[in-house]
Amino acid sequence: MLLEEWSITISRSRPGCPRENGYQESFYGKFKVDFGDPNRFRTLGELVAAIYRTIWEYNHTRIHSALKMPPSVFAEKMAA
């Protein structure tokens, strides 16, 4: 399995318990809205590129409601 080859551990909350991982659930909810219909892509490459672009935009341009700034700007300020 690819995840095992890359030493990636699967971590998930119990079914029907989204509050166990609220931060991730919040991200997925916003991601789905921002990303739109995944079936609109003709190739796997187009799909992967769009996923990367959406995540980059989420981290670098989207204003986080609690931070009042993009996460990347917040991280830079914390590192300074």
At 56-74, the pLDDT tens digits run 999 999 998 888 999 999 9
- Residue pair 24/33 in contact by the 8 Å Cβ criterion: no
Angle between helices 44-60 and 71-79 (to 10 degrees): 50
- The pTM is what? 0.67
66 within some domain: yes
Domain that holds residue 59: 42-80
In a domain? residue 22: no
Q: Is 59 part of any domain?
A: yes
Q: With beta carbons less than 8 A apart as the criterion, state whether 30 and 58 touch.
A: yes
- Per the structure, the count of domains in the chain is 1
**Alpha-carbon span 35 to 14, nearest angstrom:** 25
The answer to whether residue 11 is domain-embedded is no
Is residue 58 included in any domain, yes or no?
yes
pLDDT of residue 1: 64
Look at residue 28 and tell me if it is in a domain.
Answer: no
Instruction: Establish if 47 belongs to a structural domain.
Output: yes
Question: Which residue positions in the chain have pLDDT lower than 50?
Answer: none
Q: Quote the longest CA-to-CA distance of the chain.
A: 43
